[in-house]
Amino acid sequence: MARVQSLFTTEFLASGQTPEFYAFLKRVTEAKSKAARMKDYLIRLIHCFILGHNIDFGIIYAIMASQSGETAIERRVGYLACTLFLKDNDDLGIMLINTLQRDLKSINFLDRCAALNTICYLHHKEMQTTLLDFVIASMDFPKQIVRKKAALALFCMYQRSPDLMDRLEPFFRGVLVDKDQSVVFTGLTIWKEILCKDQEKVEHYEDLLSIFLQIMNQLMKNQKHRLFQYHGVPSPWAQVTCLQILNVYIKYGVGSQQELYQLTTECLSLVERKVDAAYAIILECIRLLNSMDTLFLESIISSEDRNPFQILNGFLLSTNHNLKYLGLLGLEKTDKNLWFEEWCNGLILVDAIEIAGDDNTLAFKALEILDHIINDFLILHTITPKLLKAIENNSGSIVQTKIAYWFMDKLNSYPFFFIIIRINIKSQNCVFFNS
């Protein structure tokens, strides 16, 4: 209460706070023994925190709620407030350690989940040593939700102290072979972050490649529960994560390119006619293919009837801006030696610019790719009529300005062609260039 009284100073009154806010502070301090009411006040205090008010006086009440809440929901609100209010290595965080240990030993899975969630967001040097064994013990809990959150809590501890990897690695490996699919999917996310962060040690985890391939094959063959399907695509985000992991392996020369090529092309054939999340899988497949050796791809594509990059045609020819942009992203990632002939003349890129209208993102991406392929006079000559039309159609927009200046810059490389184009522009009375 003394803390509340100290707030009623001239400086605080001049801050513009309302009398209702003062009354609220007073009610918080008077609700020590009423857990249900304290929960309500803490929720309001979280709202004040979001609005930018100084709520340091409420930290102790958040800790008290997490310790002495009568129900699981009251304790969870206390934990939530603690994760928001406490800063890294805050001395008051030590007061939570015994409470976290108590809940991590609880047989109630809700208490364990609340404690594990809190560990993910609170960073205090004392927590690393005192809570690690309790989190590891939660990896054997019967409920899958607890095992999943325990794996994430261990991963957060690893991020704060990378030297723990030697001790935690067996548990991270165990997550990949867990009996529950959602825990396995969590393990995929964890290993993607580990491999991307420490790519120099990819060879050290070469033995895990077979497990990732097995998981990916199970996903493609729809051997997971139907609840994980999204618009007919089995576990799309898990597939994307798997493909990203395989991409890391192939970049460092780990694994068979032939095996990964077959898996990728099979994946493309399964999602070719699907929508929504399938588009993300297609883009990751294209990225994975382009991480392979170009000579290997050229040799294997020439010996097959079907080119896996042909799937981009449907996106590049689409009138939908989002789908066309996805096609441009795939085209940008693809080595030019693997392009189809109809892509090399630049007309498909100018088509994207022409239909872009006010969509700066689509127009600029097409222009960026076009800039990389313009290497001779013939391509510039081929795209000129459509490019002039695109400039005319986008009159008065930033797209017109960007395209026009880019076009003039390219024309400067071919003075004789520049004279011809200027004559044509004048005859067509193009306002931008004539000005």
Question: Does any domain span residue 290?
Answer: no
Domain span holding position 10: 1-85
Whether 12 has a pLDDT exceeding 50, the answer reads no
Residue 433 and residue 359 share a domain: yes
Whether 433 has a pLDDT exceeding 60, the answer reads no
Residue 73 and residue 134 share a domain: no
Please tell me the number of Cα atoms within 13 Å of 394 on its side-chain side. 25
CA angle 6, 12, 14 (to 5 degrees): 150
Cβ neighbors of 408 (< 8 A, separation 6 or more) are none
Residue 79 and residue 136 share a domain: no
Question: Does any domain span residue 215?
Answer: no
- Which CATH number goes with the domain that contains 163? 1.25.10
Whether 6 has a pLDDT exceeding 60, the answer reads no
Pick from 99-108, 179-188, 295-304, 412-421: least confident = 412-421
Instruction: Tell me how far CA of residue 247 lies from CA of 150, 288, 339, in angstroms.
Output: 27, 5, 21
pTM, two decimal places: 0.83
Pick from 25-39, 90-104, 394-408: least confident = 25-39
Question: Does any domain span residue 187?
Answer: no
Which of the listed residues 175, 204, 236 is the one where a domain comes to its end? 175
The two structure tokens encoding residue 299:
């040799």
Distance CA 83, CA 115 (A): 11
Residue 435 and residue 350 share a domain: yes
Residues in the chain: 435
How confident is the prediction for the chain on average, in pLDDT? 84
Cβ neighbors of 188 (< 8 A, separation 6 or more) are 176, 212, 215, 238, 241, 242, 245
Question: Does any domain span residue 271?
Answer: no
Rg (CA), the chain: 30
Distance CA 308, CA 284 (A): 13
Output phi, psi for 275, to 5 deg. Answer: -125, 180
Distance CA 203, CA 24 (A): 58
Question: Of 210, 111, 200, 198, which is closest to residue 158 (Cα–Cα)?
Answer: 198
Question: Does any domain span residue 372?
Answer: yes
Whether 92 has a pLDDT exceeding 50, the answer reads yes
Whether 145 has a pLDDT exceeding 60, the answer reads yes
If one compares 34 and 400, the residue with the highest pLDDT of the two is 400
User: In this predicted structure, what is the pLDDT of residue 21?
Assistant: 65
User: In this predicted structure, what is the pLDDT of residue 7?
Assistant: 47
Split at pLDDT 50, 70, 90, the class of 431 is: very low
pLDDT above 90 covers a percentage of the chain that reads 42
Residue 427 and residue 354 share a domain: yes
Residue 67 and residue 94 share a domain: no
Residue 93 and residue 41 share a domain: no
Distance CA 97, CA 84 (A): 16
CB 331 within 8 A of CB 362: no
Question: Does any domain span residue 14?
Answer: yes
pLDDT digit string, tens, across residues 288-329? 999 999 889 988 888 777 789 999 999 999 989 999 999 999
Which of the listed residues 63, 85, 107 is the one where a domain comes to its end? 85
The total of other beta-carbon atoms located within 10 Å of residue 270's CB is: 18
Instruction: Tell me how far CA of residue 109 lies from CA of 66, 142, 148, 156, 182, in angstroms.
Output: 16, 9, 12, 20, 16
**Mean pLDDT, residues 8-22:** 54
Which of the listed residues 46, 61, 85 is the one where a domain comes to its end? 85
Number of compact structural domains in the chain: 3
Strands 233-234 and 229-230, bridge-based pairing: antiparallel
Question: Of 107, 84, 86, which is closest to residue 95 (Cα–Cα)?
Answer: 86
Question: Does any domain span residue 184?
Answer: no
Q: What is the DSSP string of 362-422?
A: HHHHHHHHHHHH--SHHHHHHHHHHHHHHHHHTTTSHHHHHHHHHHHHHHTT-HHHHHHHH
CB 293 within 8 A of CB 257: yes
Residue 3 and residue 57 share a domain: yes
Q: What is the DSSP string of 250-285?
A: HHTT-S-HHHHHHHHHHHHHHHTT--THHHHHHHHH
Residue 435 and residue 358 share a domain: yes
Split at pLDDT 50, 70, 90, the class of 404 is: confident
Highest averaged pLDDT of the listed ranges 220-234, 301-315, 324-338:
324-338
pLDDT above 70 covers a percentage of the chain that reads 86
pLDDT digit string, tens, across residues 248-275? 999 888 888 999 999 999 999 989 888 8
CB 380 within 8 A of CB 414: yes
Residue 140 and residue 92 share a domain: yes
Q: What three-state secondary structure class fits 9?
A: coil
Residue 408 and residue 425 share a domain: yes
Residue 425 and residue 362 share a domain: yes
Question: Does any domain span residue 220?
Answer: no
**Mean pLDDT, residues 101-110:** 93
Q: Tell me, rounded to whole angstroms, the distance of Cα 267 from its chain centroid.
A: 21
The two structure tokens encoding residue 302:
């020439």
